[in-house]
Amino acid sequence: MNSMMNKTIIIAEAGVNHNGDLQVAKKMIRVAAEAGADYVKFQTFTADKLVTKAACKANYQQKNLNDKNTSQYKMLKKLELSDNDHKELINCCKENGIKFLSTGFDLDSLQYLHDIGITLAKIPSGEITNLLYLRLIPKLFNKVILSTGMSTLDEIKDAINVLTENGLNKENIIVLHCNTEYPTPMRDVNLKAMLYIKSKLGVSVGYSDHTLGIEVPIAAVTLGAEVIEKHFTLDCKMQGPDHKASVEPAELKLMVKSIRNIEEALSGSGKKEPSVSELKNKIIVRKSIIALKHISKGEILSDDNITIKRPGNGISPMKWDDVIGTYAIKDFKEDELIKLSL
């Protein structure tokens, strides 16, 4: 699925951090593009089809909004993106050289994203047990990224089975390990579960991060994550459900740069051998067998008249035992490289 070959797909998750403001959303696109992310991802839904009018907000949403009374429905209603919003955001992405992506949260939203040309589906953690939703995905999209927050291995397996039984190739599925707490405590990250998913289910894997900071997604790349998803915001102090668990522009840029550096560091042959860049330092840093003092021709070389010093363009100290007890082939000055033949 990763057509970029050895390059981690980085998704800058704008989510609903635009607060329903199209201009904020466009600014987020520019920030994500400048940071070097591959995708900027939004959320496509209509509150009427996503949630009941009486559904409560999550604890973190209540805390971040400082509001225990307003329903989840009323909160989400303010965060919907219109058809015109989507089209403007897609154009903005094209203008800024970054790919547009959005998570559809209901059947109509999936159909809508398909109709406007989106071919990659991002399944959120909350829909992993939504049978009708999962059945529709393969009919509309040929590639899938599946988040797995709150899930057991069996639930992930069941979701993958639904997707493949309805026509999606397993090779076109990437499963993201994820924890659906905002922010996720470090003790609950369980990053090795990403590798567990890969080994048990035979799928490509990645990581969707909700921790504070950028250490964990970087670590996930070192473990083989093919996709990294990270929430970002223009300002963590903005009013909204997800801002406080998101990174700001400078951190997003640093995360992307760090991941790209890690990719380069992991790109070698795997063999332990000198690199081109370090070979020039070999003579300077290593040592040779050197005359400790003046040595006359024919004198026996011993611990008393030879030593080991830099540079390393003479006889290697590993040959010490071969040199000891031989005769000097010529006069040697102090600090002169010892030679065994002319």
Could you state, in order of their start, the residue ranges of all structural domains in the chain? 9-265, 274-342
The whole-number pLDDT of residue 51 equals: 87
The whole-number pLDDT of residue 69 equals: 60
CA dist 338 → 26, 65, 305, 321, 335 (Å):
70, 77, 11, 14, 9
Single pTM value for the model: 0.88
Whether 9-265 and 274-342 share one fold: the answer is no
Angle 249-265/215-222 helices, nearest 10 degrees?
20
**Residue 127 backbone class (left: φ over 0; alpha: ψ -120 to 50; beta: rest):** alpha
Q: Is 9-265 CATH 3.40.190.10? A: no
CATH fold label, 274-342: Type Iii Antifreeze Protein Isoform Hplc 12 (3.90.1210)
- By residue count, the chain amounts to 342
What token pair was written down for 11?
């998704």
CA dist 273 → 228, 279, 314 (Å):
31, 10, 21
Q: How far apart are CA 220 and CA 38, in angstroms?
A: 17
For the chain, 342 residues long, give each residue's pLDDT as a single digit of tens.
444 456 999 999 999 999 999 999 999 999 999 999 999 999 999 988 888 887 775 665 556 666 666 778 888 888 999 999 999 999 999 999 999 999 999 999 999 999 999 999 999 999 999 999 999 999 999 999 999 999 999 999 999 999 999 999 999 999 999 999 999 999 999 999 999 999 999 999 999 999 999 999 999 999 999 999 999 999 999 988 889 999 999 999 999 999 999 999 999 899 999 999 999 999 999 999 999 999 999 999 999 999 999 999 999 999 999 999 999 999 999 999 999 997
From the list 213, 232, 220, the residue with the least C-alpha distance to 192 is: 220
The whole-number pLDDT of residue 3 equals: 42
The whole-number pLDDT of residue 171 equals: 97
